[in-house]
Amino acid sequence: MAGKAPVVGIDLGTTNSCVAILEGGEPKVIPNREGTRTTPSVVAFQESVEILVGLPAKRQAIINAENTIYGIKRLMGRKFNDPVVQEWKK
């Protein structure tokens, strides 16, 4: 594959996500910072402007629920005024 960009696959799941590359014709899952092959599909924004992704975001969700996003896959591709999006805002 000299000179070719690697093939990357992303499994964006409602609960967990993972990323893989094609290496030598075989898929290879890329582990996250914690060393696991899947990452919780959660993002959190903290007052310190820090953005947490995956397990760290999931761990703090109880104390920072207003600034934690999960289950976003259900909303992707919808307009902001879509009734489904408006229902999730509540």
Kindly report, residue by residue over 10-20, the tens digit of the pLDDT.
999 999 999 99
pLDDT digits (tens, 9 = 90+) for 30-89: 999 999 999 999 999 998 889 999 999 999 999 999 999 998 888 889 999 999 989 887
Confidence (pLDDT) at 56 = 95
pLDDT at position 22 is 93
All domains in the chain, ordered by first residue: 8-82 (3.30.420.40)
Distance (Å) of CA 24 to CA 3, 13, 81: 14, 26, 45
* CB contact at 8 A, 14 and 71: yes
* 20 bridge partner residues: 9, 29
